[in-house]
Amino acid sequence: MDIHEYQAKELLKRFGVNVPRGGIAYSPEQAVYRAQELSGDKCVVKAQIHSGARGKAGGVRVCSSDEEIADAASWMLGRKLVTHQTGPQGKLVGRLYVEEATDIRQEIYLGFVMDRTEERVVVVASAQGGMEIEDISANEPDSIIRSVVDPAVGMQAFQAREIAFQLGLDPSLIAQASKTITGAYKMMDQLDASMLEINPLVVTGSGEIVALDCKVSFDDNALFRHPEISELRDKSQEDARETYAGDRGLNYIGLEGEIGCIVNGAGLAMATLDMIKMAGGEPANFLDVGGGASPERVLMSFKAVLNDPNVEAVLVNIFAGINRCDWIAEGVVRAVQELDLKLPLVVRLSGTNVEEGRKILAESDLNITTAETLAEAAEKVVSAWRMAEAKNGRAA
């Protein structure tokens, strides 16, 4: 789960990290009022969406008058901001963060990520702040500092100081930088974050270290331990398909194709996506229906897949172990009947109670195509999709 910049900064503040003063606004008038509360010569109006590179898309503006603030707020609010991270669909701006302007003397990149290879949190830092970490890796690879944190003891003061010295900071700033690095790590550790990025972390003209921007992602599986973090979720920033499925306990990831997939097991789901592409089609989603799927859960899976208006054919691929093919078949029949499904549907069943499952499908007298193998199922669903495309007068 991602959160907004202003929410991330509030959390950082709790762990002793300096952040600029600011306030949230939902209208141009409120944005002007927030700026007046800050009582500075300049302020920064920032669109709050779950994406980086907002500045390049016009989502971050430095303003020096009430008129400029109102104009910036009017332009941003209600607009879909398109960045290289949002994709062409963009993300809707529903709130702004009005922040005091900062006198920047130096910019630093500071990130904390879960490294699967190390099986630990790794600190990634660079004296070349203000850029995406990918750009830093490409343009300034020697500037990247990596430090692995031992989970048994956490971030130690000496380790934070080493990072600060490697960043080339003035000796007078080492203690302050160490406190910032340690505080950010504690936030990530105690709140079960999976990624924390401060970019840029800046040294101000007055010699303060301040987190000027921040992105945080949380481990969804740990949110039950942090109800206060769950409350920060903004569903308007999420893929509506994934939100619908996630709220119903389904493992779903939206893709860009036309063939909807309902599969059990992550490995089989990935293999199914590959086979569809090898057959010449494009999958519309990853969906793992999970173990012990009831007919009701299968019906919910169909609803989740059909929430995507781009879906033009559906493939159900089940290898039953904990699952039972007869349960899946009952769910498929129920879904076709209740949802009045007109799209091409291919079902491949294998494993526990497979004969009973196939019998249920055969006796349903519904327009359901069956297949014996995954390769056959992929070929049949792609072929059915192409026929539907041709029938509708569109090129496949």
Going by the annotation, the residues of the binding site for substrate are 264
Sole residue written with tokens 């398909």:
241
Which position among 6, 109, 185, 252 bears the catalytic label?
Answer: 109
Q: DSSP strand E in 205-244: where? A: 209-211, 214-218
Between CA 317 and CA 84 the distance in angstroms is: 34
Contact (Cβ atoms closer than 8 angstroms) between residue 15 and residue 193: no
> What SS3 state is found at 137?
helix
The order of strands in the sheet holding 96-100 is: 22-25, 96-100, 43-47, 60-63
Peptide bond into 28 cis (omega under 30): no
Contact (Cβ atoms closer than 8 angstroms) between residue 307 and residue 260: no
Give catalytic status of residue 244 as yes or no. Answer: no
> What SS3 state is found at 130?
coil
Concatenate the DSSP letters of all residues of 260-272 into one string. EEEESSHHHHHHH
Between CA 270 and CA 288 the distance in angstroms is: 10
- Of the CA atoms within 13 Å of residue 168, those in its CB half-sphere come to 11
Between CA 320 and CA 332 the distance in angstroms is: 15
Q: Which two tokens stand for residue 203?
A: 């040294």
> What SS3 state is found at 113?
strand
Cite the annotated binding site by residue number.
46, 99, 102, 107, 199, 213, 264
Which position among 5, 197, 312, 379 bears the catalytic label?
Answer: 197
Give catalytic status of residue 197 as yes or no. Answer: yes
Cite the annotated binding site for ATP by residue number.
46, 99, 102, 107
Between CA 389 and CA 345 the distance in angstroms is: 14
The residues assigned a catalytic role are 109, 197
